[in-house]
Amino acid sequence: MTLARALWLWLKEIFAGPIRYFRALRAHPTVTFHPGVWIGRDCAFGRNVTVLADAVLAETTVGDHSYVGGGSTVKKSRIGKFCSVGPNVRIGLGIHPTHRVSTYPGFYSPSASGATKFCTDQTVVEYRPVSIGNDVWIGAGAVVADGVVVGDGAIIAAGAVVTSDVAPYVIVGGVPAKTIRSRFDPAMVEFLLRLRWWDMDDATLRLHAHLFGDPERFRKTMEAPRP
């Protein structure tokens, strides 16, 4: 490598981050982006979304009022409204098939980055979409594997590795992640799933925000007959 090319690559790397950041701002002017973010193709955002420093998103939608923590990577995913994605979370990172002679991407993916290419046709499914419900909290350093569906109101503990679907309003943790407990009794879960409070307008949510600390009072108030 010539000195000139080495210098060019060095300068390109230095300015790549700021360029990506300002491109993201221009493409999605209603989203709050912190420095160092990388927003790939086919991303869409709802209202009042925040993406913190050095997060990477590609082919992902993020619903109203959700945030993605710093250093997280999210690919081919749908994230609902009012979700809290902690720092250094990994969602939808791709699949290495285990039934083939080799798991090396160069033998099944002509587009894999960082791998020497030995194949020309792509017959292996490398990614399966991930679906994250509404009001989901994903703790720091958690991993959500391809194809997983996480239900509304679920909590994924920090450092968990989620390889199978997560039911609504349960807390999971561990490697691989297993159910720890439900957040509420079945009647409360059924009520919350039926109510879908995350679809209410902001004015209604502000009116009832003082009730969110008391689930039973919240339910009684929302189920009370309207005058």
Could you report the per-residue pLDDT of 65-90, keeping only the tens digit for each? Answer: 999 999 999 999 999 999 999 999 99
Structure tokens that stand for 207 in this block: 């009116």
What residues are paired with 172 via a beta bridge? 156, 179
Confidence of residue 21 (pLDDT cuts 50, 70, 90): low
Average pLDDT over residues 202-227: 91
What is the pLDDT at residue 158?
98
Mean of the per-residue pLDDT values for the chain? 87
What is the pLDDT at residue 204?
94
What is the pLDDT at residue 123?
76
Is the separation of the CB atoms in 143 and 90 below 8 Å? yes
Residue 64 above 80 pLDDT?
yes
Is the separation of the CB atoms in 75 and 43 below 8 Å? no
* Position with higher pLDDT, 16 vs 49: 49
pTM to 2 decimal places: 0.84
Task: Determine what percent of the chain is predicted with pLDDT higher than 70.
Answer: 86
Taking the C-alpha atoms of residue 143 and residue 70, their distance in angstroms, rounded to an integer, is: 14
Is the separation of the CB atoms in 55 and 73 below 8 Å? yes
Taking the C-alpha atoms of residue 90 and residue 139, their distance in angstroms, rounded to an integer, is: 11
Give the total residue count for the chain: 227
**Is 28 known to be catalytic?**
no
Q: Are strands 56-58 and 149-150 parallel, antiparallel or unpaired?
A: unpaired
28, 65, 96, 99: which is the annotated catalytic residue?
Answer: 99
- Written as one letter, the residue type at 89 is V
What is the pLDDT at residue 14?
47
The crossing angle, in degrees rounded to 10, of helices 215-223 and 186-195 is: 50
CA atoms within 13 A on the CB side of 132: 33
Taking the C-alpha atoms of residue 37 and residue 13, their distance in angstroms, rounded to an integer, is: 14
